[in-house]
Amino acid sequence: MLEKVRSYFDIDPQLFNERNRKNQLVVVNIANLNGIQPPDEYSEAKNKKIKELYKIYQEMGNPQQLTIDFPIICCAVPNLGVEDIMFGQALSELIPDTEYNLAIIDGHHRVRYGPKYNVSDFYCSVYSLSQTLLNMKKLKKLDCQVIPEEYYKMLLKGMSSTISAFAQRGYSHTMIPVRF
């Protein structure tokens, strides 16, 4: 089933240090979020920190507020073949009514533990693939030589291998695209 995400409000994305640019926050169901970090890459220290944060927010009466205060950073990966005439444009901008798979760039632990605190909808800051690639290069998380088409393949591989790794642990997930 294809989900249409609903807008929330504008924020300054803190993760990428782009204080002069606004990015739209959208509410996304957990079924539409795809990790690129397999379970064996999860940090125990981070797991503990996230659980503690969720408990604090739960005590305040709204564990979902954690995802408003610390939105999930996602990359919109076009659900198009490279031969599609819209592919190049879909890498650099979010085209209305085009399907995208959302890859989690920052927030894997928050998404993973959300359901344990009755959080199934997450506030997300969504970037185009080209924007994400540029920001990851600025943060020195990726080689400067990586081009958008390569990053597209890297993200697809990351999402697929993460889904497989979780399936081996008994968790089922299918990529469900969204439209903006």
Distance of CA 95 to the CA centre of its chain: 17
pLDDT in tens, 99-127: 999 999 989 989 999 999 999 999 998 99
pTM of structure:
0.83
Q: Which domain holds residue 85?
A: 3-179
CA distances from 41 to 108, 133, 152, 166 (A): 10, 21, 21, 12
pLDDT at 139 (0 to 100): 65
Of 126, 106, 117, 134, residue with least CA distance to 180: 126
Whether the CB-CB separation of 133 and 148 falls below 8 Å is answered with yes
CA distances from 108 to 22, 42, 82, 86, 134 (A): 23, 8, 27, 29, 21
Going through 43-108 in order, the beta strands assigned E by DSSP cover 72-78, 100-106
Element (H, E) at 66: helix 65-69
pLDDT at 24 (0 to 100): 63
Whether the CB-CB separation of 12 and 19 falls below 8 Å is answered with yes
What's the structural domain count of the chain? 1
Q: Structure tokens of 48?
A: 């503990």
Mean pLDDT by 10 residues, the chain (180 residues): 41 40 74 88 83 93 90 93 90 91 92 95 91 78 80 93 87 89
Residue 7, phi then psi, degrees to nearest 5:
-75, 155
Whether the CB-CB separation of 146 and 67 falls below 8 Å is answered with no
